[in-house]
Structures are given as C-alpha cells and as structure tokens.
C-alpha cells in the first residue's frame, strides 16, 4: 500500500505535464488531490504499521545479474518520514496556490521531487535508494532555476553541484562496500548481515557519512543550504528544508551507521580529545548548531534567518545520531520530523504570506511596516512557529531536542553544554526576527513609511490558513503527545541499534 | 504515595477550563470580557472545590497519573496539597480581579482576554504539575501571554520592558531545563515526589556524582537561578520595575499577584525538596541575597515617584521575606530538636500565608492604581495627587485598608504571614532577621508617605471633582477587602489546612 505514495506522485507529475497550460486552477487542484491521496496512504500505513516491525512492500528482481532488486520496505523510521513527506507535500501545494507561471510544470516538478523523496525513504535496496536520491536532485534544480528569486541560477547550480559531489562520495562508498562484501545482493538487509572488515569500514564510513551529510546541512558543507533555501520558491524552500535535508540525515542513519557500525569505533589514538569518527562528526554537529544559530542572529534578510536556523536544527539531528544510544537516536528521528514541519511553516510564512505581499524580505524594511497590525494572521502564525522553533515545551521540537540532549549527556556532557548555547542563541535569533518583522517598536519613523507603503496588503487566502493550521497543529500534537510518533520510532531504532550496533 | 484519587479529574478540568475559555474569548469579539468573567468565576469555583478536597493529613491528593512519554520520564502526573490548592485559589481570585479591573480594554479585547485566560491556564498547570516536563510546559506557557500582554497593551516603553522580562525569564528557564536534564540522565526520573524521595535518602547526590561528577551543587544553583528571576531575588530583579510599570495595571495584578508566586512555589515544591542539602550548604550567601532583596526593595520604593514603581519595589520587598524564610529554614536539625522544628514550621507557614496575602493585597493595590489613573487622566505620580479623602472618601477608605494590609497592620491579612515569618526566622538566622527588620520599617514609611501624599493635605483644583467609587466598583471591591479582613481576623481558615502540609513537607525535606 505504502508503495503507492511513489507511484501516485510520479504518475501525477506525468499527467500534470500533459495538462493544458491555460488552466492553472486545474493543475493546482489536481496536484493537491494527488498530494492528499499520498498523505492519506501515508497516514493509513502509519496507523496500520503501529507496533509492527519492518514490512516488505514490494520485492521484484530488477537487474538479477547484479543482485539488484526493486525492494521497497518500511520500518518505523520510514513510516514517520513518509508521513512527514506527505504533510510537507500537501502544505507545499497549498502555499504555492499563487504560482501563475507555468503552473502545470511547477507542480509536475514538485510532485516528481516528492515521489523521489518517498522513494528514498522506502528503498531497502542500495541501488534503488541511490536512484531515487538522484531523481530528487533534478526537479530541485529546475524549481529553483525557473521559479526562484535572489540569485537563483547561482543557488540552483551550487545546490546541484554540492548534491552531486555528495552523491559521488556515496556512490564510491557503496560500490566499494558491495565489492568488499562479496555479496550477490544490493539489499540493505543482506548487506547488513555481510562481513565488512573493520579497517574497510573505517575509511568507507566517513566517505558515505559525509556524502549524505552534505545534504543534511552538515557544517562545514552546509553553504548550499541557506543560499538554496533563500533562492527557492516558497514551496521548494519548504521541501528543501523540510524533507530534502532529511534525505541526507536519513542516508547517514540508514546507510552510514547501519552498514558501517565499526566505522564509529575509536581509532586507538586521540588528537585533542577527538578519538574516533564519532567524535569528529559530533563535533561538526555541535559546531553546526552554534554556528548556524550565531549566523542566523546577524542576518538582515528574513529568509536567511530561517535558512541558517535549519543548519542549526539539523545539527541536532546529526548530534542525536552520533550518540548511538536509543534515546539520542530516537530524538534525532523525531527532530527530523519536527524540523520538517516547523521549518516548512517558517518558510511558508516568510516566503509566501509575508514576501508575496510586502515584496521585501529585508528586516530593516519590514520593521516600519507594522505587520502585526496589518497582517495579524501572519504575526500570530509566526509567534506559534517561532515558539516551536525555539523549542518551547508543548511543541514537537522540545521533545526532540530534549531527547537528543539526554542522549548526548550520557556520552559527553560538553556536547550538551555547547548545544545549550545553541538553544539560547536559537531563542535569541527567533526572537529578534519576530520583533523586527512583526512587533517593532520603531513607532515615530513608522507613520511616513507606512504611508509610503500604504498600498493595501492582499487579504489572507484560504490555502494559507489551511496550510498554517495543518502544520502548526501537527507540531503541537506531537509536542503534547509525543507518543504518537515515539511508539513507532523507538522500536525501529532499537532494531537498528541491535542489528548493526555490535 | 499516599492520598486519594478522585473519580472526577478536577485538576485537569481546572486547567482545561481557561483554555476553552480562551478559545471562546478569541472568537467572541466585544463580548470577550463577559466570557472571561464567566470562565474565571467557574475556575474559582473549581479551585475552591479542590481546596476543600485536599487530604486532611497534608499529603498530596486529587492525584491523576497517566503514562505520557515514558521513555523519557514524561508522565501526566497531577496533584495538590495545601500549598498547591491555596495557590490555585489565589490564582483564580487574582485572575478574576484582573478581568474585573480590565473594564476599559478597547484595543482587540478578544485577544486580550484570551491571553489572560491562557495565562490562568499556565498558572493552574504549574501549580498542579508533579512531573518536570508537565510543570515546565505550563511554566513556559504562562510566559508567552504575559509577554504579549505587556508588549501589545502596555505603556510608552512597553517594548523594551517586555523584551527584558522575556529575556530574563527565558535565561532562567534554560538554566532550569539543563539542570533537570542532568537530573534525568542521572536518575532516570522527572517525577518530583520520586526525586524528593531520592534526595531525602541522599541517593540523588550519589547518582548525580556517579553519572556526571561532583556537579550537584552546580545543578542546585541552576535551578535556584531559574526561580530567582521569577520571584525575583536580587540581583535578578532588574526586569521587574519596568515590566510592572509598563504593563497595563490589570496585567501587573496578574504578574505580581499570581505569577511571582510561581517562583516562590518552585522554591518550595522543587528546589528545597530536591536540592535541600545543597541549598543548606550555600545557605549563608543565599541569606545575604535574601536580606539584600528585602532591604533594597524597601529603600528603592522610597526613591520612586511613580506609584506603580513604588508598589513594584514594595512587592520585591514583600516576597523577599518569603525568600528569607525559605533559606533560613534550610538547616539540618536533630531529630528531637522540638524548638527548631517549631521555628521551621512557623517560618514555612508564614511563607505560604505571605504568598497568599501578598497576592491578594498587591493585586488590590494595582487595581486601585488603575482606578486612580482612569480618574486622573492617566496620572500616577505620587506627587500628582493630594487630599483625595475629601472628594472620594470611600475610595480613600478602601485603598487605605489595602495599604495598611500591605504595611502589615495586625487585624489585616498582611500581618499574619510576616509575623509567622519573623517568629520562625529569628531563632534560625537572627542576624538576617534583625537586618530585615529595617525593611519592615522602611516599608511602613513608604506606605505612610503614599497615604499622606495621595489622601491627605489640600486638594489640587483639578482633582476637586475626583469621582468616588461608583456602585459597581464598590460591589467588585467589597469581596476583596472583606477577604483581607477575614484572613486578618481568622487566619486559621487558611492555617488549619496549610499546617498539615507544612509538617508533611518538612518531614520529607533533608537539609
């Protein structure tokens, strides 16, 4: 059943290309219907899969000579991320309701991207996973290059190049693993049982991990992320930050850690307290958390604030993965989901609700506009999204970060101390952006500028209200009752740790 | 744990009620105040039901306990004893007073009253929670509406005041959060009663030391810092005068009447039970801070010209007595040392009474300031008034009662708490108590000055037609003033229910 998310999305993309250009409304409604159908399938499978382990969805021989199968399967981690993708897809389409330029093509690329993402999360064959991973890069490029804004060609090219470099590293690692294992199958399940020498894992693990980590926004390979997020049209930023970055993190977990567990073993010597790849990547994660937050604090462009905040929040995912314990890794997966929802919401508010009306994203220019009065809905939505992003309790981010920190505390308290600084700065930058964009005190200056910009701001539309409500209530629901997701994630993480942990 | 579970989840209902009210208020436009009044009245009734159903032996009752997110120690665990139930009643009364006083909100009244009710839910939640996560959720929830109430409805300098308030409290919260994360990593529990048990046997410290090294004292300081901001304790008080002065007066009523009690409550429910031994270790410096809070608060009040700032600093002073008593009673005592135990019990009874009485009195005082401002076109300087007892004798009389209650006049509610505090603190820490007497004297001087400058002397011409309280205002104020008299004359109405809790708490604390 879950496999239909992939088929539906690609079929939808194909139909959209064939739809007439002259009828944008038709394309919109059709795309929305496809996305909602995908979400419905994801939800149904999520509910049905509760308490179940890994289920094989499809297993067909594809290139039998090389042992390549069209193997789709789902465990708790996949189900949660597929659900996230479904939600992001629906919300993304709702927030793209105002796209008038080549509407059908836009939604075709959008659905193709979604299909690729679904594919990655459900592939249990390395080759298949890689194919979907590559498929996802192409529509991203076009979405930014055609419908993007600020320096879109540059950003699109940068994003594509970074992605391809990462993919190349992953590909080398995977081919080497396939050859070394002497396996006749590229199935992740079979390779997980194959013997890979520790010395091999030691060099192959960092290659694969960094390869995927690039897409997860790992510092210092994160620079594509802010520029890409900013240049992308709103829906694409939502997907980039919301789900594409999770592809990277998912790869780190599903392929990197699960296939090469010994790559994380100590080297036997230590340099300045760093004695294993685990320490190295945890350090990079912590630097990412703090660096992303500090850079977000000084941005003048509203969208860049959110862009860098993604780097910081994804640092928590990588840190959680490096704890290698149940609680920290569960937190990492939950943070993937949470950040997907919250970052999507933030980009929607900044890119769609605010920018499409004010035509500026400069905080200094937004300051005198009195948006809390003129766009109270946007202000209210940003307050909620900001609280979720700050990690206030009651929202999904709190539980996720709490788990990552608890997991990290069991391994190395210094990681927690540094991440704590990141949280404090995170509160500060969200705060600063909220103050400047919506609740500025610059009153005396305001009157003249408001006059100048006195043109009427278009009223909020129903797709915007629906999208905001959808994402905000999901974050709130997970924050108040995290077991909705934890009960599914925890057993999967346990299996993964037991299977590859020793 | 002992105690009884009730069939009806009163505490959950109590927390949900204002949330529902907030949602209704948001969509009821101009009728939001009516919705808020009904909600707060219903909340007060429920809080009183809870107050009359606490166990007579002082243990925690009305317990509700359900799994929430067990893998990270999160549990839905609610319950109240005499202390918690009294705070529920206080929060409900203060919120009702605040809604009553907010008769002139013209700008977005629906949002205003929704935020007030959200704040009430935060108060109820944090006074009933017995699990850190649950408690922290409501502790933070209450912060957001408070911030926006200052930011959107406050006076001229509301922006910086709101920001300062938010930043200070948030910094305190981060300290609290990190400390409790460490406690969870070491013990695997976030449950207050369970952690109290671990602390009373000394296991908590051993577990923390084993997992994280000798950092228990550091954790205690982190937790204390979080509460010190909220109460506030010097030197963490600097956000308070601006916030109290810039907030609209009905919101100041909530801030000082109820929210400041969240900090004192946290010291009693969380800091002392779980980190009693560490607090006792650094008792002397803490007592110094408490004395500074008491004396500085009083002296600073003398220097103010703005009535709201006068009472803001006098609030710092009044809660300083609570903090003084809390730190003073944190001494190890021998098992059979009856006089010491009696002193501790007196001090703790005093703290809890003082929390309640200060809440009622301070909220009433800011209500009177709101009425002064309404009648004088916004003026609230101490020198802007004079001779008001002639044109407005009832106003002067009732505000006079509230002022004398704040001063601690015997026969009024303010006296009992302060008397018990000093009765307890003198044997426990006589130097600190002696210096703090200075605070009492200065406060008396401040309040008498206010009375003299506002109500006595010649009436300025522009105040000659100062209207007295009209019928509706008298009816609204009567129960509050009546409560001050009632508790002043019959303190046993509260003490009889609080004392068993005090003895029970002291029996479980280890210093």
- Residue ranges in A324-395 assigned as alpha helix (H): 326-347, 355-358, 363-366, 371-374, 376-390
Q: Is A499 on the interface with B (CB under 8 A)?
A: no
Backbone φ, ψ for residue A2 (5° rounding): -60, -30
Contact B343, B462 (CB under 8 A): no
With beta carbons under 8 A apart, name residues in chain A contacting B67: 483
Q: Is A338 on the interface with B (CB under 8 A)?
A: no
- What own/partner pairs with CB < 8 Å and gap ≥ 24 does A188-191 have? A188/A124, A188/A125, A188/A126, A188/A129, A188/A254, A188/A255, A188/A258, A188/A259, A189/A73, A189/A124, A191/A126, A191/A259
Alpha carbon of B240: minimum distance to chain A alpha carbons (Å): 20
Do residue B181 and residue A406 have CB atoms under 8 angstroms apart?
A: yes
Do residue A416 and residue B181 have CB atoms under 8 angstroms apart?
A: yes
The HSE-up count of residue B78 (CA atoms within 13 Å, CB side) is 24
Task: Find residues 39-98 of chain B whose CB sits inside 8 Å of chain A.
Answer: 67-69, 71-72, 74
**A-B Cβ pairs (cutoff 8 Å, strict):** 64
Q: Given this model, what pLDDT does residue A413 score?
A: 83
The HSE-up count of residue B440 (CA atoms within 13 Å, CB side) is 17
3-state secondary structure (DSSP) of residue B76: strand
Is ipTM > 0.85 here? Answer: no
C-alpha span between B393 and B441 (Å, rounded): 27
Alpha carbon of B100: minimum distance to chain A alpha carbons (Å): 26
- pLDDT tens profile B126-159: 999 999 999 999 998 899 999 999 988 988 888 8
With a pLDDT cut of 70, the percent of chain B lying above it is: 99
Report the Cα–Cα distance between both ends of chain A, in Å, rounded. 33
With beta carbons under 8 A apart, name residues in chain A contacting B153: none
The residue in chain A having the minimum alpha-carbon distance to the alpha carbon of residue B132 is A393
Q: Is A399 on the interface with B (CB under 8 A)?
A: yes
Residue with tokens 């769609």: A352
C-alpha span between B175 and B180 (Å, rounded): 9
**How far lies A431's CA from each of A305, A399, A434, B375, in Å?**
11, 20, 5, 37
Q: Given this model, what pLDDT does residue A443 score?
A: 56
Q: Given this model, what pLDDT does residue A454 score?
A: 53
With beta carbons under 8 A apart, name residues in chain A contacting B163: 431, 435
With beta carbons under 8 A apart, name residues in chain A contacting B152: 372
- pLDDT tens profile B181-205: 889 989 989 999 999 999 999 899 9
Cis status, amide bond into B232, omega within 30 of 0: yes
3-state secondary structure (DSSP) of residue A71: strand
Is the pTM here over 0.90, yes or no?
Answer: no
C-alpha span between B188 and B203 (Å, rounded): 13
Task: Find the CB nearest B69 among A383, A399, A416.
Answer: A399
With beta carbons under 8 A apart, name residues in chain B contacting A403: 72
Residues in a beta bridge with B80: B61
Q: Which two tokens stand for residue A8?
A: 């539906």
Contact B116, B149 (CB under 8 A): yes
Q: Is B170 on the interface with A (CB under 8 A)?
A: yes
Where chain A has pLDDT below 70, the residues are 442-455, 500-502
The answer for residues whose C-beta is within 8 angstroms of residue B251's C-beta and 6 or more apart is B98, B116, B146, B149, B150, B153, B154
Do residue A486 and residue B181 have CB atoms under 8 angstroms apart?
A: no
Task: Find the CB nearest B151 among A327, A439, A482.
Answer: A439
Mean pLDDT by 10 residues, chain B (511 residues): 59 94 91 93 95 90 86 88 95 95 86 95 95 92 91 87 89 89 90 92 90 88 93 90 92 94 95 93 94 94 92 94 94 85 93 95 94 86 88 92 91 90 93 91 92 88 86 91 93 91 91 85
Do residue B174 and residue A403 have CB atoms under 8 angstroms apart?
A: no
Q: Is B225 on the interface with A (CB under 8 A)?
A: no
Contact B278, B183 (CB under 8 A): no
C-alpha span between B101 and A409 (Å, rounded): 48
**How far lies A495's CA from each of A306, A330, A332, in Å?**
34, 12, 15
């Amino acid at each position: 059943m879950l496999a239909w998310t992939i088929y539906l999305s690609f079929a939808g993309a194909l139909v959209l290309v064939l739809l007439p250009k002259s009828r944008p409304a038709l394309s919109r409604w059709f795309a929305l219907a496809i996305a909602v159908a995908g979400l419905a399938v994801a939800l149904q499978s999520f509910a049905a899969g509760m308490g179940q382990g890994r289920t094989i969805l499809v297993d067909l021989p594809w290139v039998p000579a090389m042992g390549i199968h069209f193997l789709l399967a789902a465990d708790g981690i996949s189900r949660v991320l597929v659900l996230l993708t479904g939600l992001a897809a629906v919300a993304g389409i709702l927030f793209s309701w105002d796209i008038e330029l080549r509407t059908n093509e836009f939604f075709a690329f959008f659905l193709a991207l979604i299909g690729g993402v679904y594919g990655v999360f459900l592939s249990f064959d390395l080759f298949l996973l890689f194919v979907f991973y590559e498929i996802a890069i192409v529509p991203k490029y076009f979405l930014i290059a055609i419908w993007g804004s600020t320096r879109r060609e540059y950003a699109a090219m940068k994003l594509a190049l970074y992605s391809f470099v990462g993919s190349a590293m992953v590909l080398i690692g995977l081919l080497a693993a396939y050859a070394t294992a002497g396996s006749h199958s590229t199935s992740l399940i079979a390779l997980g049982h194959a013997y890979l020498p520790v010395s091999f894992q030691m060099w192959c693990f960092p290659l694969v991990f960094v390869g995927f980590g690039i897409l997860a926004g790992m510092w210092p390979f994160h620079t594509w992320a802010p520029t890409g997020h900013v240049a992308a049209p709103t829906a694409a930023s939502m997907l980039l930050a919301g789900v594409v970055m999770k592809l990277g993190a998912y790869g780190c977990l599903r392929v990197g850690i699960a296939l090469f567990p010994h790559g994380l073993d100590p080297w036997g010597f230590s340099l300045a307290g760093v004695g294993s790849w685990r320490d190295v990547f945890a350090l990079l994660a912590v630097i990412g958390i703090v660096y992303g937050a500090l850079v977000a604090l000084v941005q003048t462009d509203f969208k860049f604030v959110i862009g860098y905040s993604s780097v910081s929040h994804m640092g928590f995912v990588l840190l959680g993965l490096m704890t290698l314990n149940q609680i920290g890794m569960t937190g990492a997966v939950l943070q993937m989901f949470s950040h997907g929802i919250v970052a999507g919401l933030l980009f929607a508010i900044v890119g769609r609700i605010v920018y499409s009306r004010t035509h500026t994203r400069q905080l200094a220019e937004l300051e005198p506009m009195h948006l809390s009065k003129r766009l109270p809905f946007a202000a209210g939505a940003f307050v909620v999204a900001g609280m979720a992003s700050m990690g206030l309790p009651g929202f999904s981010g709190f539980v996720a970060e709490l788990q990552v920190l608890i997991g990290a505390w069991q391994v190395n308290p210094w990681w927690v101390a540094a991440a704590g600084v990141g949280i404090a700065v995170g509160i500060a930058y969200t705060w600063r952006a909220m103050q400047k964009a919506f609740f500025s005190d610059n009153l005396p200056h305001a009157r003249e500028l408001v006059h100048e910009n006195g043109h009427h701001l278009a009223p909020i539309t129903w797709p915007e209200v629906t999208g905001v409500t959808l994402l905000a209530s999901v974050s709130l629901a997970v924050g108040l009752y995290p077991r909705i997701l934890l009960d599914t994630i925890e057993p999967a993480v346990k299996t993964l740790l037991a299977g590859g942990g020793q | 744990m002992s105690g009884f579970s009730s069939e009806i989840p009163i505490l959950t209902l109590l927390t949900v009620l204002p949330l529902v009210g907030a949602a209704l208020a948001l969509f009821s436009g101009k009728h939001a105040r009516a919705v808020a009044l009904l909600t707060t009245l219903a909340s007060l009734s429920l809080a009183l039901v809870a107050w009359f159903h606490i166990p007579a032996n002082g243990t925690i009752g009305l317990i509700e306990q359900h799994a929430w997110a067990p893998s990270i120690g999160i549990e839905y665990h609610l319950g109240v004893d005499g202390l918690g139930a009294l705070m529920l009643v206080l929060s409900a009364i203060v919120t009702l007073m605040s809604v009553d006083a907010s008769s002139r909100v013209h700008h977005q009244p629906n949002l205003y009253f929704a935020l007030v009710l959200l704040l009430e839910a935060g108060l109820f939640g944090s006074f009933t929670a017995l699990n850190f996560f649950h408690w922290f959720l409501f502790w933070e929830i209450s912060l957001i509406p408070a911030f926006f109430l200052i930011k959107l409805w406050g006076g001229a300098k509301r922006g910086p005041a709101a920001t300062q308030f938010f930043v200070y409290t948030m910094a305190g919260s981060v300290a609290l959060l990190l400390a409790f994360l460490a406690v969870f990593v070491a013990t695997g529990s976030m449950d207050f009663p369970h952690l109290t048990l671990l602390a009373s046997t000394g296991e908590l410290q051993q577990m923390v030391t084993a997992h994280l090294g000798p950092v228990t004292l550091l954790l205690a300081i982190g937790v204390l810092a979080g509460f010190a901001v909220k109460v506030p304790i010097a030197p963490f008080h600097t956000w308070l005068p601006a916030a109290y002065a810039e907030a609209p007066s009905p919101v100041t009523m909530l801030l000082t009447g109820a929210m400041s009690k969240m900090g004192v409550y946290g010291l009693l429910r969380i800091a002392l039970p779980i980190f009693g031994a560490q607090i006792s270790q650094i008792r002397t410096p803490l007592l110094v801070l408490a004395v500074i809070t008491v004396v500085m608060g009083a002296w600073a009040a003398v220097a103010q010209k703005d009535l709201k700032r006068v009472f803001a600093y006098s609030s710092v002073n009044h809660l300083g007595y609570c903090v003084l008593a809390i730190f003073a009673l944190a001494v190890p005592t021998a098992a059979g040392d009856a006089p010491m135990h009696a002193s501790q019990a007196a001090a703790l009874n005093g703290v809890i009474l003082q929390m309640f009485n200060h809440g009622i009195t301070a909220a009433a005082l800011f209500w009177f300031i709101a009425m002064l401002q309404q009648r004088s076109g916004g003026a609230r300087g101490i020198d802007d008034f004079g001779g008001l007892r002639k044109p407005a004798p009832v106003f002067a009389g009732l505000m006079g009662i509230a002022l004398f209650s704040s001063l601690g006049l015997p026969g009024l509610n303010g006296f009992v708490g302060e008397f018990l505090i000093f009765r307890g603190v003198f044997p426990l820490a006589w130097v600190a108590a002696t210096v703090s007497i200075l605070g009492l004297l200065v406060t008396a001087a401040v309040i008498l000055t206010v009375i003299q400058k506002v109500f006595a002397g010649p009436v300025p011409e522009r105040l000659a037609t100062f209207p007295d309280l009209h019928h509706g205002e008298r009816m609204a104020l009567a129960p509050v003033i009546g409560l001050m008299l009632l508790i002043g004359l019959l303190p046993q109405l509260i003490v009889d229910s609080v004392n068993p809790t005090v003895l029970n708490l002291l029996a479980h604390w280890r210093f």
